[in-house]
């Protein structure tokens, strides 16, 4: 469908003509932030002074220690007296794991379909574009919510749904890249060496298009992070006792009048993460464009 081209580009991957470079200070800060976030996620259990479900009903909705709250609770406590900072680093861990898992599922699924369509052409190609058209007919959010309603919430379904978000971008990208590799005679040459198609695509074509795929993954990741936190915010994604950044905001929203930090802290983390990944993705794409055009 004609609008489909736009669907993929409405996510922060839209290719507006770029005329100036992103200042390198911003890129370094974004990378720095992502590094810190990744370290926090990996070493959550070392960094967190409390467990993410440790309740202390005597210390409920206390402000951050730098605003006069109790010592040791750097970002204050929530309605059950749980330490916001500790919950934050664990939420970051869960949110990142789920977003990355979803991204990998989507990238894998889309890449596979792209290879199939480019290899077999004909009916396979038609089926792929029909599938893409069809997916464009139901807004993704509604589709995901309906699946959660029909099948009931489970972490497996949730991650799968995140994986279905944006797969068509990879399918399209890979299909195009493989077709151009075929055009150049590369695939035919490998085929004539007696290689199995799985070897041709998996061991020769894939490594050569991995750069473009990686850029696309980076460009899609912010969308998935925001989708994950949105669904969890609604209470329809990650379920307690697990925690996620969106879930924290959803909880904190109830106590905004008295304890704004419970919602603002995870909100800032989502915002900065999505922004940093977007900036790094744009930067990676510019570098890839520069290296392929020369």
Rounded to a whole number of angstroms, the minimum distance from the CB of residue 12 to another protein is 4
The residue range among 40-48, 92-100, 116-124, 249-257 that interacts with another protein, by the rule CB under 8 A, is 249-257
Cβ closest to another protein, residue 50 vs residue 173: 173
Instruction: Provide the H-helix boundaries in the chain.
Output: 4-10, 24-42, 44-47, 84-120, 122-137, 140-151, 155-164, 167-183, 186-191, 197-199, 206-233, 245-253, 261-293
CA distance 26 to 16: 19
Among residues 7, 31, 80, 288, which is the contact residue for another protein, using CB under 8 A?
7
For position 145 contacting another protein by CB under 8 A, the verdict is yes
CA of 184: how far to CAs of 164, 177, 260, in Å? 31, 11, 58
The conformation of residue 83, written as its DSSP 8-state character, comes to: B
CA distance 152 to 149: 5
CA of 259: how far to CAs of 63, 69, 136, 256, in Å? 7, 11, 40, 5
Rounded to a whole number of angstroms, the minimum distance from the CB of residue 112 to another protein is 21
Token pair 């890249």 in the structure block, residue? 177
For position 25 contacting another protein by CB under 8 A, the verdict is no
The residue range among 58-66, 71-79, 102-110, 254-262 that interacts with another protein, by the rule CB under 8 A, is 254-262
Residues 193-222 that bind another protein (CB under 8 A): 193-196, 199, 204, 207-208, 222
Q: Are 223 and 277 in contact (CB under 8 A)?
A: no
Rounded to a whole number of angstroms, the minimum distance from the CB of residue 268 to another protein is 8
Total site size for another protein, rule CB under 8 A: 72
For position 180 contacting another protein by CB under 8 A, the verdict is no
The residue range among 17-25, 44-52, 54-62, 77-85 that interacts with another protein, by the rule CB under 8 A, is 17-25
Q: Which residues of 163-176 are buried (b: 16+ CB within 10 A; e: fewer)?
A: bbbbbbbbbbbbbe
Cβ closest to another protein, residue 21 vs residue 287: 21
Among residues 32, 72, 108, 139, which is the contact residue for another protein, using CB under 8 A?
139
The residue range among 39-47, 56-64, 103-111, 266-274 that interacts with another protein, by the rule CB under 8 A, is 266-274
Among residues 36, 134, 154, 202, which is the contact residue for another protein, using CB under 8 A?
134
Q: Are 85 and 72 in contact (CB under 8 A)?
A: no
For position 275 contacting another protein by CB under 8 A, the verdict is yes
Q: Are 267 and 226 in contact (CB under 8 A)?
A: no
Residues 34-93 that bind another protein (CB under 8 A): none
CA distance 167 to 171: 6
Cβ closest to another protein, residue 50 vs residue 220: 220
Among residues 101, 148, 213, 224, which is the contact residue for another protein, using CB under 8 A?
148
Q: Are 66 and 74 in contact (CB under 8 A)?
A: yes
Q: What is the 3-state secondary structure (H, E, C) of 196-246?
A: CHHHHHHHHHHHHHHHHHHHHHHHHHHHHHHHHHHHHHCCCCCCCCCCCHH
Among residues 29, 55, 112, 186, which is the contact residue for another protein, using CB under 8 A?
186
For position 270 contacting another protein by CB under 8 A, the verdict is yes
Among residues 149, 202, 240, 254, which is the contact residue for another protein, using CB under 8 A?
149
């Amino acid at each position: 469908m004609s609008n489909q081209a736009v669907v993929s580009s409405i996510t922060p991957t839209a290719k507006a003509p770029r005329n100036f470079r992103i200042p390198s200070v911003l890129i370094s800060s974004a990378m720095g932030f992502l590094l810190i976030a990744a370290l926090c996620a990996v070493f959550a259990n070392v960094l967190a002074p409390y467990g993410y479900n440790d309740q202390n009903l005597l210390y409920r909705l206390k402000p951050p220690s730098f605003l006069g709250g109790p010592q040791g609770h750097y970002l204050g406590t929530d309605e059950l007296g749980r330490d916001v900072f500790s919950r934050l680093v664990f939420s970051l861990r869960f949110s990142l794991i789920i977003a990355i898992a979803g991204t990998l599922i989507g990238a894998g699924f889309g890449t596979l379909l792209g290879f199939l369509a480019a290899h077999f052409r004909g009916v396979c190609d038609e089926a792929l574009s029909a599938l893409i058209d069809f997916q464009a007919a139901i807004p993704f959010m509604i589709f995901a919510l309906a699946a959660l309603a029909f099948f009931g919430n489970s972490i497996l379904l949730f991650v799968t749904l995140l994986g279905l978000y944006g797969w068509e971008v990879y399918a399209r990208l890979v299909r195009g890249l493989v077709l151009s590799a075929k055009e150049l005679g590369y695939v035919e040459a490998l085929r004539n060496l007696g290689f199995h198609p799985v070897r041709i695509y998996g061991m020769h074509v894939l490594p050569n298009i991995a750069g473009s795929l990686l850029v696309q993954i980076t460009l899609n990741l912010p969308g998935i992070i925001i989708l994950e936190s949105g669904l969890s915010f609604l209470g329809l994604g990650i379920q307690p006792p697990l925690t996620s950044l969106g879930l924290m905001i959803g909880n904190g929203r109830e106590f905004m009048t008295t304890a704004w930090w419970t919602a603002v802290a995870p909100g800032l983390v989502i915002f900065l993460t999505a922004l940093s990944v977007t900036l790094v993705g744009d930067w990676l794409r510019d570098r890839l464009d520069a290296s392929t055009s020369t």
